[in-house]
């Protein structure tokens, strides 16, 4: 399992946190999600054979938020 931190812009309330937690948690291979309103980020634990950062960014953007992966 891998863990990835994703910066998220546009969250304004706990409803946003719940929404993104559900969206990310529904992706194949994701085993844990923690979204932080104060930290403006999400930490995702996932199986890299099934999913990865690009899928997380796409899901976050589809939910109406901006997302960016850490620099490589």
For the residues 33-42, what does the mean pLDDT come to? 96
Which pLDDT score, from 0 to 100, does residue 41 have? 96
Neighbour tally for 3: CB within 10 Å: 11
The total domain count for the chain is 1
Domain of 52 in residue numbering reads as 2-68
What's the pLDDT tens digit per position in 1-11?
Answer: 999 999 999 99
Mean pLDDT score, 58-66: 97
Percentage of the chain modeled with pLDDT above 90? 96
Q: Average pLDDT in the 17-37 region?
A: 97
Whether the predicted pLDDT of 16 surpasses 70: yes
C-alpha span between 62 and 72 (Å, rounded) = 23
CATH of the domain at 42: 3.30.70.100
């Amino acid at each position: 399992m891998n863990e990835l931190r994703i910066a998220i812009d546009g969250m304004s309330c706990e409803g946003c946190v719940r929404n993104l937690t559900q969206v990310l948690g529904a992706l194949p291979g994701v085993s844990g999600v923690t979204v932080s309103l104060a930290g403006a980020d999400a930490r995702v634990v996932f199986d890299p054979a099934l999913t990865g950062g690009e899928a997380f960014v796409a899901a976050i953007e589809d939910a109406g938020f901006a997302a960016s992966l850490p620099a490589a």
